[in-house]
């Protein structure tokens, strides 16, 4: 069983730097058992962090996760998200309760606002605090928040512990401003699509670096993401072998020459860019 490092959160707790994403799970009933088995295999390997959302499969992904963690809830660190259309005070509470029902648990380790909508942030934050007081969530954060959003949120509450955003070698915009801002405040970035939905697994630069390490391009992409302080990765896979491959990226140590080659192939941002989302 792997021992996965953890990074600190602002509330004094810690969160694993590597986890399992579930985007696109729960969309086909015919894939349900295979998806459950894949997540269980991840838990068997020692991967505790599982990220899901009420949006994924219209709740289907949460049902997959619920089946996977049945009888072993304490082995998992559960993250789910509320849609902005449900982000009012009462609707957030109801949405969380529905997520808990689908997940078959009485609590979430972390609950995120999936992205900003029309509801004032103050109202959603009040709902999160209500849920914390009731023990239904242990902590809360956000997703797809750009720097302006995070600064506004910081003026409302200091209790946000994570911002989950799109981040990989081809999507480096957050390095210009958002990532340094969060690092200065010890608010980790949870990187979704860290392999760019598999596209980086075909990249020639990554393939060359991978050969030198006896690794795969996908492992190089994941190692690069987790090479940054306060950044975690949540690749999605329903393939047990691919989960094992992704997990092995934790043992890959990039060299300065590797980083230079990757910066040359995937340049760092030179100016502020709008936050990318997919």
- Of residues 56, 77, 111, 192, which has the active-site annotation? 56
Short-list 205, 204, 194, CA closest to 258: 205
For 236, which DSSP code?
B
For 97, which DSSP code?
H
Asked if 49 and 260 touch (Cβ cutoff 8 Å), the reply is no
Using alpha carbons only, give the angle 92, 144, 116 rounded to the nearest 5 degrees. Answer: 45
* Calpha distance 109→138 (Å, rounded): 5
Q: Is 123 exposed, middle or buried (0-12, 13-18, 19+ CB in 10 A)?
A: middle
Helix or strand run (H / E) with residue 182? helix 178-184
Using alpha carbons only, give the angle 200, 25, 59 rounded to the nearest 5 degrees. Answer: 135
112: Cβ contacts below 8 Å, ≥ 6 apart: 53, 79, 80, 81, 82, 140, 141, 142, 143, 162, 164
Beta bridge partners of 142: 113, 163
Judge whether 56 counts as a catalytic residue.
Answer: yes
Strand ranges (DSSP E) for 93-238?
A: 110-113, 140-143, 160-166, 189-192, 231-233
* Calpha distance 18→232 (Å, rounded): 6
The residues annotated as belonging to the active site are: 56
């Amino acid at each position: 069983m792997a021992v996965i490092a953890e990074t600190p959160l602002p509330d004094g707790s810690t969160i694993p730097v590597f986890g399992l994403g579930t985007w696109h799970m729960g969309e086909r009933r015919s894939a349900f058992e295979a998806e459950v088995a894949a997540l269980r295999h991840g838990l068997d390997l020692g991967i505790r962090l599982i990220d899901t959302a009420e949006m994924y499969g219209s709740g289907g992904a949460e049902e997959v996760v619920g089946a996977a963690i049945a009888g072993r809830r304490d082995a998992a660190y559960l993250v789910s998200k509320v849609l902005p259309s449900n982000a009012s005070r009462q609707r957030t509470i109801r949405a969380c309760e529905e997520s808990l029902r689908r997940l078959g648990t009485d609590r979430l380790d972390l609950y995120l606002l999936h992205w900003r909508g029309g509801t004032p942030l103050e109202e959603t934050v009040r709902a999160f605090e209500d849920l914390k007081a009731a023990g239904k969530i242990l902590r809360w954060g956000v997703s797809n928040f750009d720097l302006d959003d995070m600064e506004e949120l910081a003026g409302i509450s200091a209790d946000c512990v994570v911002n989950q955003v799109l981040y990989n070698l081809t999507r480096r915009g957050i390095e210009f401003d958002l990532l340094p801002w969060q690092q200065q405040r010890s608010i980790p970035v949870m990187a979704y699509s860290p392999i760019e939905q598999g596209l980086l697994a075909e990249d020639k630069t990554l393939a060359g670096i991978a050969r030198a390490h006896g690794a795969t391009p996908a492992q190089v992409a994941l190692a690069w993401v987790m090479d940054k302080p306060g950044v975690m990765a949540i690749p999605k896979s329903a393939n047990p072998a691919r989960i094992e491959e992704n997990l092995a990226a934790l043992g890959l140590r990039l060299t300065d020459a590797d980083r230079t080659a990757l910066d040359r192939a995937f340049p760092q941002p030179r100016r502020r860019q709008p936050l990318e989302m997919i």
